[in-house]
Every structure is written in structure tokens, then in C-alpha cells.
Chains A and B, each alone.
Chain A
């Protein structure tokens, strides 16, 4: 699907597609790496998938590019809307509070790209703002996130709250397992039911990988996998 979008799209898509998406990388912690680092990120799920690459050029700002594919139910007739997007984006750490045993952050995100969907004819410019607040210690993690994808033909919004804990403290060169629970509402009109996703997360040095099993209204929504690697 992404391939079609990238190589069969009309002019303007590919150049803009130097960009990325990323905004919605809900469960993948910090959207800004450390200065002069590269970050490869991905999310794979039944209704939402993305891949992105970003470069952190200051301690508080990163630029990236990527691809996103999403689908959601819409309207009284309840049909499935499918959207593919490419974009470039900027992520900025607006504030950080460092404590002896904890850290809290506020991040702003803004993406600009092109979108193609099954319910509109021509590609459209899409704007993707986002906001993330998080708090973490070596054993506890909590985050609140908002992300939107807005074009002339659609508006897709996602809110999420997540929290989790690690089974034990580790040093940074040891594998650390976490359990994280996320509650999210998403869709064009946000009338979609709340999606609950328990995740198992593993962190080792700069590798982050997690797998979740989302369910909505008591029904399984398949599996989700998120990863991030910084180098």
C-alpha cells in the first residue's frame, strides 16, 4: 500500500515524502533523541502502521521523515476510511524537569505532508500536530498524548493515556522488562470506542521494543508492535 503511494503518487508526494510521520508514535517514549543521533522507529498494527527516520540536531529538537498508513470507521454508514501519508516533521522538547529519581517532559510535534485516501480523489496536504507529556522514574512510566492528522477531506485525532511499571531496576546495559497499559480514543469523530492495549516492553541500551494486544468493546483488535533504535 505504501509502495503504491510512494511510487504511483502524483507529483509533490515524493518530495514531501522526504518527510515523516511519527507524530503518532504513541507508545515509543521520547520523540527527541540525544544531540547528533539518528532514530529509526516503527509501529505495526492492524489499523495503524508507520515507519520513520529522524535526526536530532540539538538537545531539544529533531527532524524526521516517514510513512503512515491508517484506517478507521466513519459516518452513519460506517465505512472504512483508509489513508496513506508521507510527511516531514519537527519535534521539539518544550520543557524538561530533572529530579534525582525522575524526569518529566513536554514535547510539541508538527508535521506537514501529503495524504491519499479511498474516500477522496486527489492527494491533499495534511497537517499533523501533536503534544506529549510524560513522567518516568526507573520503575514507573506515565504519559498523555494527543495527535491529529488534518486535511481538507478528513480529520483524524487520537488521544491516549498510558502508564506502566518495570519489574525491577536495571543498569542501562541490561535488559529491562516493563508492563504498560494504554487507553486510547481515536477516529474521525472520536465516537470510536476506547481501545485498551496492554503492552510488554523491553529496553536495552537504545533499543526499545514492545508488543501489545489491543481490544475494543471486549473484542481483540489483533497485535501491535512498536520499536525504536537510536544510533
Chain B
């Protein structure tokens, strides 16, 4: 009988630990924003968008691909991107957003490699 509270404590501790592990791994899973943009035809356009997005506090990396008209944004570890802000930033830079996607478990580097065929 005396061991029951101890077992409960152990089980509760394990549950908390597992919850923490699950939460931590979820927080580390990068959810990259992939935005398709119209009007992005020059280096100047790309730089404007890149600098605007890079200034956002959650941003870890930005990649602009003129060929595919894609802007990819990766958050800092443990942070979540605000798609509305990204959209607003691109529109403020003078371009039209035609599509937004959130891609789980990937990185900007992986998207760059996929779009350019280079690693």
C-alpha cells in the first residue's frame, strides 16, 4: 500500500516528461512558409522582399526563387511564423501574393535544393 503513492508519482513524472518531449519536438519541427508571388521579376524585387522578411523577429532564413516565383521563410527554433505578417510584408514591398502554403518538417535549404536542383 505504501508503494501506491510512489507509483503514482513515478507515472505522473513519466507522463510529464513524455509531454515535455512531445512538446519540445513539436516546437523544433520547422514549419516553413512557402509563398507564390506575382511581379517578382528582378534582383531588386527579390532583395526588397528578402530584406523585409528577414527583419521579422521570427525569421531564421529567407530564400527567393525568381524562376518559380517562390519566397520560402524558415522560423527560428521554437518560433512560429506569422503567415499574415509575411503576406503583408510582401504586399507592402509592392508585389501580389497568389498562394501561401505551410510545409512541415523541412528547411529553406531543402526547398532551395529542391527548386534549383543543387545542394
Chain A positions near chain B (C-beta within 8 angstroms): 29-30, 33-35, 37, 59-60, 93, 96-103, 136-138, 169-173, 176, 203-206, 208, 230
Distance from A137 Cβ to chain B, minimum over Cβ atoms (Å): 6
Sampled A-B contacts (25; CB under 8 Å) = A29-B44, A34-B44, A34-B49, A34-B52, A35-B48, A37-B51, A97-B39, A98-B39, A100-B69, A102-B39, A103-B39, A103-B41, A103-B45, A137-B41, A169-B67, A170-B43, A171-B66, A171-B116, A172-B45, A172-B46, A203-B43, A204-B43, A205-B43, A206-B43, A230-B47
For A33, list chain B residues within 8 Å (CB): 48
Distance from A115 Cβ to chain B, minimum over Cβ atoms (Å): 31
For A37, list chain B residues within 8 Å (CB): 48, 51
| Candidate in B67, B69, B93, B94 with the most chain A CB atoms within 10 angstroms | B94
Given contacts A136-B41, A171-B67, contact A34 B46 (CB under 8 A): no
Question: Shortest 8 CB-CB distances between A and B: which pairs?
Answer: A98-B39, A34-B48, A172-B46, A172-B43, A98-B96, A98-B38, A103-B39, A59-B92
List 5 additional A-B contacts (Cβ < 8 Å) besides A99-B39, A172-B46.
Answer: A34-B47, A103-B39, A138-B42, A172-B64, A206-B44
| Candidate in A138, A208, A230 with the most chain B CB atoms within 10 angstroms | A138
Chain B positions near chain A (C-beta within 8 angstroms): 38-39, 41-49, 51-52, 64-67, 69, 92-96, 98, 116
By secondary structure, the B interface counts as mixed
By secondary structure, the A interface counts as loop
Contact B66 A138 (CB under 8 A): yes
Complex CA distance for A96 and B116, rounded to whole angstroms: 29
Complex CA distance for A99 and B98, rounded to whole angstroms: 10
Contact A172 B42 (CB under 8 A): yes
Given contacts A59-B94, A60-B94, A138-B66, contact A96 B39 (CB under 8 A): yes
For A206, list chain B residues within 8 Å (CB): 43-44, 47
| Candidate in A93, A99, A171 with the most chain B CB atoms within 10 angstroms | A171
- CB < 8 Å neighbour of B65 from A99, A171, A203: A171
Contact A34 B69 (CB under 8 A): no
For B92, list chain A residues within 8 Å (CB): 35, 59
For B42, list chain A residues within 8 Å (CB): 103, 136, 138, 172, 203
| Candidate in A93, A137, A203, A206 with the most chain B CB atoms within 10 angstroms | A206
Distance from A140 Cβ to chain B, minimum over Cβ atoms (Å): 10
For A172, list chain B residues within 8 Å (CB): 42-43, 45-47, 64, 66
Complex CA distance for A184 and B46, rounded to whole angstroms: 30
